[in-house]
Structure 1
């Protein structure tokens, strides 16, 4: 038991994790709620899963990426990206081509059909963002952006700092 923090353990001496106040949990729940709400809109209309839309969104912004680069930009698991890519290829929403001189490296891009879906879904998602943020004034939106950037920077050092963790 930590005598400096009596709330760090429960009455049985077990570690206490108050999820309702644990930032990673709260961010995850909020992100899931927002993503699922938005996905309900484009999912019904276009039959896209969240992972598929994320792949399309990245390819709509950055052309000619490998699946690994998509996974890196979305922070999604490579297997999830691979499955989403396979479904999008099957539906003709994205295309795969080889990278110039390196025939082993395949590059992904939206197809014309993919762009037609992207051009409808992207404004829908931006409208959802606008509605979500309308509850914040301009100063709060700027502060949120600033704090998100700082937390993002903090993630970079998190894993490095945890290497010294015992165990």
Structure 2
């Protein structure tokens, strides 16, 4: 029997669908902040976040941590470099790799956006309640295999 004809199956209650919709809505809402202030794309924000939070690292490390495709990282790095938010430094032992690091304007943008992210997070928590917010994060970490 196909899912179309299955009265028990409702795609609106299908977990991957719900996760995708919730992710897209929350991500789009926060993207207004980094787009309007810094003209950033989502991949640029994610690269900036990793460098701001964890310090200098390679694009490969960012891709592994953030599960971001290398082409998106490459474009984001180029754009952040044009904005003078980051620097690249060749790794002596492997000239094909570079260490990426934030410059002062990038660190300032990260600090600003980290404050905005905390406020955004607080608004989400207020909306769904502290208990549900904690439970949601716990479940999402399990699904993402981050615990």
TM-score normalised per structure 1 = 0.77
Give how far 1:75 is off.
1.3
Aligned residues: 145
Distance in 1, matches of 2:11 and 2:76, equals 31
Distance in 1, matches of 2:144 and 2:49, equals 20
| Equivalent of 2:123 in 101, 124, 131 | 131
| Equivalent of 2:4 in 7, 10, 21 | 10
After superposing on structure 2, the runs of 4+ consecutive aligned residues of structure 1 that deviate more than 4 Å are none
Gapped regions of structure 2 (runs ≥ 5) = none
**Alignment RMSD (CA, Å):** 2.2
- Could you say which residue in structure 1 is the equivalent of 2:134? 142
Distance in 2, matches of 1:123 and 1:67, equals 25
| Equivalent of 1:94 in 86, 94, 101 | 86
Higher CA-based Rg: 1
1:99-114 matches, within 5 Å, as 99-114=91-106
Name whichever structure is richer in helix by fraction.
2
- Could you say which residue in structure 1 is the equivalent of 2:75? 83
2:127 aligned counterpart, secondary structure: coil
Q: Which structure would you say has the larger RCO, counting Cα contacts within 8 Å and 6 or more residues apart?
A: 2
Give how far 1:95 is off.
0.6
